[in-house]
Amino acid sequence: MSISSKTFIPLCIPEIQGNEWTYIKECLDTGWVSSVGSYVNKFEDDLAAYVGQPCAVATVNGTAAIHTALMTCDVQPDDEVLVSTMTFIAPVNAIRYTGAHPVLVDCEPDYWQMNPEKIVEFFQTQCTYRDGTLINNQTGRKITAIIPVHILGHPVAIEAICDIAKDYNLKVIEDATESLGASYKGQKIGTFGDMACFSFNGNKLITTGGGGMIVTSDEALAHRARHLTTQAKHDALEYIHDEVGYNYRLTNLQAALGVAQLEQINSYIAKKLSIARKYNDALKNISGISPMQESPEADSVFWLYTVYINAEVYGMTARELLHKLHEEQIQTRPL
């Protein structure tokens, strides 16, 4: 069989099967296509209700959401922010946008999420905590926040991380971009930290083409985040701007897509779980391949099905397998 006759199997494709056309047509018919409009507010309200937080602020993408959350949490240039090693690059870039520096925290071996024990060990052996301020002894810089990244649809051990953050007076910004809908001890992720960020990129569980959201229980933080994402406009009539702002607001067109997508989220999650069960079944007897696990404390949404490859046992490295699957028209990606 030639390669061209094989069906290409992509990693992730959006499913547009609900009210997307209806809602977007309404935007087009009424002329409300840009950064003001009822769908932006509705998408914020609907997502806040789904996650179970009172406040939500929509942004142009997930990276902008994280950047805004860091600024809102007062992360300053030359501060340090802890972030997962095992992550897409976006939160690390967002830390650099603020002028702060990332400190990478390794993952635990079972579920591949940020390891709280590594954080405690680092603070106890390499940092000094005095008068509410945590200093990295080696760099002399202040550590001000932690970004635990809930990767691949599975939650971080988020309670432990929030407890550590409280002990050391640090802010927690959950990067929940890959794990919308997942829960930890029965509570939705995105409700544990000071703020949490979501992404609606084309490959995420729900998509707006491009888009993001910050959720928080703190109205003052939400107000400040909204201010920063709308050019820090203090006075809508006279165009007075009271600080450096950003053009980070989601458009009404994109939000209309998001509202329709969110209506279908339960069916998307059910599909992801059924795909994961199929792979678990199919791969269980292949030595050298360890499928992703779900912690008994977690409800994963299995966003991107992932396996760990022990090259010696399996007889091929992950990279070699990636190329082999590529030849078979099956898209995979390394982590």
Ligand X SMILES: *Cc1c(COP(=O)(O)O)cnc(C)c1O
24/37 Cα distance (integer angstroms)? 12
Taking the complex as a whole, the smallest distance from the CB of residue 203 to ligand X amounts, in Å, to: 7
- Stretches 9-17, 56-64, 122-130, 284-292: which one binds ligand X (CB under 6 A)? 56-64
Q: Assign 196 to helix, strand or coil.
A: strand
Query: In this structure, are residues 153 and 183 in contact, taking their beta carbons and an 8 Å threshold?
Result: no
Among 100, 107, 149, 172, binds ligand X (CB under 6 A): 149
Query: What are the structure tokens assigned to 115, written together?
Result: 């390891």
Among 50, 88, 184, 302, binds ligand X (CB under 6 A): 88
179 is a contact residue toward ligand X (CB under 6 A): no
91/102 Cα distance (integer angstroms)? 9
Specify which residues 195 forms β-bridges with.
173
* C-beta pairs of 324-331 under 8 Å, 24+ apart in sequence: 327/3, 328/6, 329/3, 329/6, 329/7, 329/8, 329/9, 330/9, 331/8, 331/9, 331/10, 331/11
Query: What are the structure tokens assigned to 102, written together?
Result: 């990332």
- Stretches 23-31, 57-65, 111-119, 272-280: which one binds ligand X (CB under 6 A)? 57-65
175 is a contact residue toward ligand X (CB under 6 A): yes
Taking the complex as a whole, the smallest distance from the CB of residue 87 to ligand X amounts, in Å, to: 5
CA proximity to 295, closest of 191, 204, 184: 184
| Residue at shortest CB range from ligand X | 62
155 is a contact residue toward ligand X (CB under 6 A): no
* DSSP-derived secondary structure for 121-155: HHHHHHEEEETTEEEETTT-PEEEEEE-B-GGG--
- Identity of the residue, 105 or 134, whose beta carbon is nearer to ligand X in the bound complex: 105
- Stretches 29-37, 46-54, 114-122, 171-179: which one binds ligand X (CB under 6 A)? 171-179
87 is a contact residue toward ligand X (CB under 6 A): yes
Among 144, 201, 254, 261, binds ligand X (CB under 6 A): 201
* DSSP-derived secondary structure for 65-115: HHHHHHHHTT--TT-EEEEESSS-SHHHHHHHHTT-EEEEEPBPTTT--B-
- Stretches 33-41, 84-92, 282-290, 316-324: which one binds ligand X (CB under 6 A)? 84-92
- Identity of the residue, 134 or 195, whose beta carbon is nearer to ligand X in the bound complex: 195
Among 62, 153, 181, 193, binds ligand X (CB under 6 A): 62
Taking the complex as a whole, the smallest distance from the CB of residue 330 to ligand X amounts, in Å, to: 21
**Which distant-in-sequence residues (6+ apart) come within 8 Å of 126 by Cβ?**
136, 137, 138
- Identity of the residue, 136 or 178, whose beta carbon is nearer to ligand X in the bound complex: 178
91 is a contact residue toward ligand X (CB under 6 A): yes
Footprint of ligand X on 217-276 (CB under 6 A): none
- Identity of the residue, 53 or 177, whose beta carbon is nearer to ligand X in the bound complex: 177
Q: Assign 335 to helix, strand or coil.
A: coil
61 is a contact residue toward ligand X (CB under 6 A): yes
> Which amino acid type is present at position 195?
M
177 is a contact residue toward ligand X (CB under 6 A): yes
Query: What are the structure tokens assigned to 221, written together?
Result: 């933080």
Provide the binding-site residues for ligand X, judged by CB under 6 A: 61-63, 87-88, 90-91, 149, 175, 177-178, 199, 201, 212
